[in-house]
Amino acid sequence: MRILRALAALVLGTSLTAPAAAQAQTGTGTVRTDTLWAQALGVQKALTVYLPPSYHRGTSRRYPVLYYLHGKTGNERNWVDAGALHRTMDSLIAAGAPEAIIAMPDGDDGWYTTWGVLPDMGPCERDTTRREPAATYCVPWTRYDDYITFDIVRWVDSHYRTRADRAHRGIAGLSMGGYGAITLALNYPTYFAAAASHSGVLSPRLLPDSVQKSRGVKYARDREEMALAARSLWPQLWTAFGHDSIAWRGRDPQVFAERLASRVKAGKATWPALLIDVGVDDPWHAQNADFDATLTRLGMPHTYREWPGTHNWDYWRSHSPESLRFLLDRVAR
């Protein structure tokens, strides 16, 4: 039986941490990795999926889904391997929290947006520093927002027993993934009812205080100022966000919030529940505070929290229970 189970896992493109029936009996979820064709990217991609303890108990029960996005240089296994998100979810369920499926896609370093510039495949394919093969990392079509919202959501809804509607979907992420979670929730409010960001890059045009004082302007207006705002992220963001201020505005969470807020106030859209947290020593702390100020100015409901900590897994592991509870309270009750 063990050999047959292992062969089945290989055929399905999955890896199981333990026999599903045994895990259901012990109250622990199942973690597996699927492989799917991502039409928006033009390549095969990996997707790590957490199935709650009761999933394999022979019922027809359907579950809400939480999508967790990794940060820059991460992959679909980060939230499990570094964040122990599956264990945190098991603990919450054991304490009485509702069950949910968690889907953790491979987002490359794509910033969960459609890039402003098509990638140069040659240098990407010659990059040997990544553990991921060039065949899946060097994508010909960089539509990472469509990939998450359409390819991944459709795959999960068609392969698992989900409650396949907006009211039962939440999305979260850290750093680059925090940017992705917030922007996808604001751009696709008919798909996600709630979103949470840990240490997200949420105001990418915000200039450092010293530059604001010397230039008398708060947000970047040209390429030089965009590089100052992006700091260490500039080599990636100028490709993903584009080469001019118009392209950057078109990918700015503040602009998305303003646009959706106007539609909500006109009765044409629904505002997602938002949770934003950041460490007080995080290098992107000012961006999070600035985004909080924007949402407050717009009069749009949200939860904003600052905690001791910086931009690392110690912080994200310790605060992932809060995002899980926040999302579960809104999509699983």
**CATH number, domain containing residue 82:** 3.40.50.1820
> Which residue shows structure tokens 């570094």?
82
Task: Give residue 29's domain range.
Answer: 16-203+252-331
Asked, for residue 222, whether it belongs to a domain, the answer is no
Asked, for residue 226, whether it belongs to a domain, the answer is no
How many domains is the chain built from? 1
pLDDT tens digit string along 21-55?
Answer: 444 445 899 999 999 999 999 999 999 999 999 99
Instruction: State how far the alpha carbon of 168 is from the alpha carbons of 147, 184, 193, 198, 272, in Å.
Output: 19, 15, 7, 21, 12
Task: Specify the pTM.
Answer: 0.90
Asked, for residue 216, whether it belongs to a domain, the answer is no
Asked, for residue 194, whether it belongs to a domain, the answer is yes
pLDDT tens digit string along 213-241?
Answer: 999 999 999 999 999 999 999 998 999 99
- Residue 286 buriedness (CB in 10 A; 0-12 / 13-18 / 19+): middle
Dihedral-angle region of residue 267 (phi above 0 means left; psi in -120 to 50 means alpha; beta otherwise) = left
3-state DSSP assignment of residue 183: helix
Question: What is the token pair recorded at 178?
Answer: 């925090």
Q: How far apart are the C-alpha atoms of 159 and 63, rounded to whole Å? A: 12
Q: Among residues of the chain, what percentage have pLDDT more than 70?
A: 88
Residue ranges in the chain assigned as alpha helix (H): 2-12, 20-26, 78-81, 85-94, 121-126, 134-137, 144-146, 153-159, 176-187, 209-215, 223-230, 234-240, 245-249, 253-265, 285-298, 313-331
